[in-house]
Copies of this chain bind each other. A is one copy, B any other.
Amino acid sequence: MDYNKRSSVSTVPNSAPLKVGFIGLSHQKGWAVKTHYPAILQLSSQYQITALYNPQLEVALETIKELKLANATAFPTLESFASTAIVDMIVISIQTSYHYSVILPLLEYSKSNPNLKYLFLEWAMACNLDQAEQIYKAAAARGLQTIVSLQGRKSPYILRAKELISQGHIGEINSIELTGNGGWYGYDRPMKSPNYIYEMGNGNDLVTNTFGHTIDILQYMTGSYFSKINSMVFNNIPEQDIIDDHGQKTGQKVKKSVPDHLLFQGTLMRGNVPVSCSIKGGKPTKKFTKNLVIDIHGTKGDVKLEGDAGFAEISNLVLYYSGIRANDVPVPNNNKYPTEPKNDMNMYDAGKEIMEVYHLTNYNAVLGNIFRLYESIADFHYNTKKIPSLPSQFLLQGFEFEGFPTFMDALIIHRLVDSVYQSHLLGSTLDVTNISQLPNFNS
C-alpha cells in the first residue's frame, strides 16, 4: 500500500493555518456541520475558520457562538465576505441549485481579496453542464486552485482498489459490472425530506448525484474515461407516497420528476473494457445482494467492492481481492512523483494465489472521505510529501493518486452526465472520447 497510508499532515507545519471562509455552515443542521466542520476541527493546525457568510446574518452569528469559532467573523453580505483579506480558501456547501447564482458574483467580488487561493465546492457543481462550464471558466479566469467534493476518490477502499489495479495485480481489466440501489428516488418520500431533491433540474437527481459520484470513482479506480456509452433513464415512479417518521404511509401522494432508474453501459477507452451499470432508487432490499456492488474482473484476478448503501462516496465498504502475484507484474509509476523503494514482496510471493478482504470496521465514510480530502489539500498546500518542483496550481487531478479532484474533474463528470441524458433522449450510443479533453472556451 504505497498510496493509501496516512497523510503527512498530522504533524504541525511550520506555518500559519489556512484561513477558511465558509458559505453554508450552520450549527443547526446540514451536511457541512457533519463533515466539513469536524474535518477542519481535526486538522486545526492546518485550517482555521475565519469567516462565515449566510444570507441571514443571525444564523452565521449563532453558528460562530455555538461551534465556538473563536477566530471567525460573520459577514453581512456576499461582497464583504468575498472581498475580505482574512480568507485563503472559500468553501461552499449549499444546495446545488444555488451554486450558480452565488459563485459567479462571489468570484467577481473576490478580486478584492489578494490572499484567496482555494475554492472548494460540493459536487454537483451547479445544476447542469452549461452552468458548470461557466463556473469552471470564471474560477479559471480568477486563477484559483479549485477543489470539488468528489470525495469517493479519497475512500481508502477506492484507493486500495486503484492500487491493486494499477500495479497489475488483477492483470488487464476485461469487464466490469456495477449495481447500486440508493434509498432515495423510490416509492416513498419521508415527510421531512426536502422537495427539491425530487424535482428535475436541481442537480440532485439519480444521474447527476448518485451516478455522477459512482462513475467518477469507477473511472478513477480503472484509470480510464469512457469512449462509448448508451443509457436509458426511467421515471417509473412518477408519484411517491409520503411516509411519516415511523415509516408509515400518511396517505398523501406527491409527484416526482427525477429518474428512479438508470441503465448505463459503455466501453472504457483504455482496453475497450465493457462496463455494465444499473443504478436505481427505491427501498434497498439487502436480502440477496448488497446495495452497492462493483465487480472488476481482470485476466489475473478480481476486485469486488460492496456497500450497504448505494452511495459509494459516503459508505463504508468492503473490498475483496483475488489474484495471482506473478513475477511479471508490472508496477507502473503513473503518478510521476518518486515512490518509495519496492520491498521484496513480489519476489517472495511470485505466482502465489492471493486473496484479501479489506474492511475498516469503524470507518465513518461520511466524515472520513471529506476529512481525507482536507488532508490532501493540506498535503498540497504545505507540500508535506516533499514533492520536488510542485506546481503552485494544477488543473485537474485526473487519475493521480496524490492531489484532489478539481472543477475540471467535475466538468468531465458533468459532460458524462449530460451525455447520459442525451443518449437516452436521442436513443443513441454516443462517442464520448472527447469529454475528457480540456475545454476550449471562446471568452
A residues whose Cβ falls under 8 Å from a Cβ of B: 174-175, 177, 179, 187, 228, 230, 232, 234, 236, 261, 263-267, 271-278, 280, 282, 285, 287-289, 295, 297, 299, 301-302, 304, 320, 322, 355, 423, 427-430
Q: Is the pair A174, B236 in contact by a Cβ cutoff of 8 Å? A: yes
Report the copy number of this chain in the oligomer. 2
Q: Is the pair B282, A234 in contact by a Cβ cutoff of 8 Å? A: no
Contact of A278 among B272, B274, B355 (CB under 8 A): B274
In the complex, chain B residues whose CB is within 8 Å of the CB of A355: 287
Determine how close the nearest CB of chain B comes to the CB of A240; give it in whole angstroms: 13
In the complex, chain B residues whose CB is within 8 Å of the CB of A288: 295, 302, 304, 320, 322
In the complex, chain B residues whose CB is within 8 Å of the CB of A266: 232, 263
Q: Is the pair B234, A274 in contact by a Cβ cutoff of 8 Å? A: yes
Q: Is the pair B287, A276 in contact by a Cβ cutoff of 8 Å? A: no
Determine how close the nearest CB of chain B comes to the CB of A188; give it in whole angstroms: 11
**Pairs across A and B, CB under 8 Å, 6 listed:** A228-B232, A232-B265, A274-B280, A276-B276, A276-B278, A289-B304
In the complex, chain B residues whose CB is within 8 Å of the CB of A230: 230, 232, 265, 429
Given A232-B266, A263-B266, A265-B276, 19 additional A-B pairs, CB 8 A: A174-B236, A174-B282, A177-B278, A179-B276, A179-B295, A187-B299, A232-B265, A232-B267, A232-B429, A263-B275, A265-B278, A276-B276, A287-B301, A288-B302, A288-B320, A289-B295, A427-B428, A428-B428, A428-B429
Q: Is the pair A276, B274 in contact by a Cβ cutoff of 8 Å? A: no
Determine how close the nearest CB of chain B comes to the CB of A221; give it in whole angstroms: 16
In the complex, chain B residues whose CB is within 8 Å of the CB of A427: 228, 428-430
In the complex, chain B residues whose CB is within 8 Å of the CB of A261: 174-175, 274
Q: Is the pair B265, A263 in contact by a Cβ cutoff of 8 Å? A: yes
In the complex, chain B residues whose CB is within 8 Å of the CB of A295: 179, 288-289
Determine how close the nearest CB of chain B comes to the CB of A119; give it in whole angstroms: 38
Instruction: Using known A-B contacts A265-B265, A429-B429, determine if residue A234 contacts B272 with beta carbons closer than 8 Å.
Output: yes
In the complex, chain B residues whose CB is within 8 Å of the CB of A267: 232, 234
Report the separation of the CA atoms of residues A383 and B295 in the bound assembly, to the nearest whole angstrom: 48
Report the separation of the CA atoms of residues A329 and B36 in the bound assembly, to the nearest whole angstrom: 48
Report the separation of the CA atoms of residues A285 and B174 in the bound assembly, to the nearest whole angstrom: 12
A304 — nearest CB in chain B belongs to which residue?
B288
In the complex, chain B residues whose CB is within 8 Å of the CB of A264: 265
A424 — nearest CB in chain B belongs to which residue?
B429
Q: Is the pair B302, A287 in contact by a Cβ cutoff of 8 Å? A: yes
Determine how close the nearest CB of chain B comes to the CB of A288; give it in whole angstroms: 4
A429 — nearest CB in chain B belongs to which residue?
B427
Q: Is the pair A175, B322 in contact by a Cβ cutoff of 8 Å? A: no
In the complex, chain B residues whose CB is within 8 Å of the CB of A179: 177, 276, 295
Report the separation of the CA atoms of residues A274 and B266 in the bound assembly, to the nearest whole angstrom: 16
In the complex, chain B residues whose CB is within 8 Å of the CB of A285: 297, 302, 322
Q: Is the pair A272, B302 in contact by a Cβ cutoff of 8 Å? A: no
In the complex, chain B residues whose CB is within 8 Å of the CB of A263: 265-266, 274-276
A320 — nearest CB in chain B belongs to which residue?
B288
Q: Is the pair B274, A175 in contact by a Cβ cutoff of 8 Å? A: no
Q: Is the pair A322, B287 in contact by a Cβ cutoff of 8 Å? A: yes
A261 — nearest CB in chain B belongs to which residue?
B274
Report the separation of the CA atoms of residues A174 and B285 in the bound assembly, to the nearest whole angstrom: 12
Determine how close the nearest CB of chain B comes to the CB of A38; give it in whole angstroms: 34
Determine how close the nearest CB of chain B comes to the CB of A419; give it in whole angstroms: 13
Report the separation of the CA atoms of residues A346 and B277 in the bound assembly, to the nearest whole angstrom: 37
Contact of A272 among B236, B274, B277 (CB under 8 A): B236
In the complex, chain B residues whose CB is within 8 Å of the CB of A175: 261, 278, 280
Report the separation of the CA atoms of residues A274 and B181 in the bound assembly, to the nearest whole angstrom: 13
In the complex, chain B residues whose CB is within 8 Å of the CB of A265: 230, 232, 263-265, 276, 278
Determine how close the nearest CB of chain B comes to the CB of A214; give it in whole angstroms: 14
